[in-house]
Amino acid sequence: MLTLAAALAIGYLLGALPSAALAARLRGRRIFEVGSGNMGAMNTARNLGWGLGVAVFAADVAKGALATAAGMAMARTVALEPGAALATALAAGLGAVVGHAWSVFVGFKGGKALATIFGASLPLYPFGGLAGLVLIVSLTLLTRRATAAAIATLVLYPLVVALAALRGGADTDTAFALFTGTAPLAAIATFKYLRPVIASARTPRAPPR
């Protein structure tokens, strides 16, 4: 339990590094006052330049990857059995996503964490992460609706990861653990996508004159 908590905490601190906010500061701007106000690579690219956007994307992917890798290293160091080792790595990835979504370094604000979710997959279940990436790109190209494509991908993401694991030769217990371990990641990002929609729906409209 202590190892699990430590992995979650380390993942959180890595994920909380506000790469987009730091990039915006280089231009003398505040990321939360730029464009959509989202602390992410796409908002950075659209409003501060594609070079910075690519750098932010790479940094956000790296945060997730480093967190999961750190969790895996911790599990090896204390010689955890396979199930506990997998849970520790997943906890570190979850911590990174929570950290990106609600960073302690910027007043518990953050981004939608798609890049960090993808990064968290790479050391542990890369084929699942890549399948999710292919799905979101395909849906975006087909529908021309990036937000709808992202939400649809997130809803399907745990299943995509589990199926990719089974196809890669994992047993059903491992696939189920990946399904349950990635479901919170998808839920967090979905909430971040839907939150502005919910907020606008709750805002009372001015009566017609």
Identify the residue whose tokens are 């030769």. Answer: 169
Nearest-angstrom CA–CA distance, 77 and 80: 8
What pLDDT, in 10s, does the model give residues 8-46?
999 999 999 999 999 999 999 999 999 989 999 999 999
Alpha helices in the chain (DSSP H): 2-15, 19-26, 41-48, 50-77, 82-101, 114-121, 126-143, 146-167, 172-202
Residue 203: pLDDT band by 50, 70, 90 thresholds? low
Taking phi first (over 0 means left), then psi (-120 to 50 degrees means alpha), and beta for anything else, what does residue 75 get? Answer: alpha
Say if CB 101 and CB 115 are below 8 A apart: no
Q: What is the pTM of this model?
A: 0.91
In the predicted model, is pLDDT for residue 208 greater than 60? Answer: no
Nearest-angstrom CA–CA distance, 114 and 15: 12
What pLDDT, in 10s, does the model give residues 71-109?
999 999 999 999 999 999 999 999 999 999 999 999 999
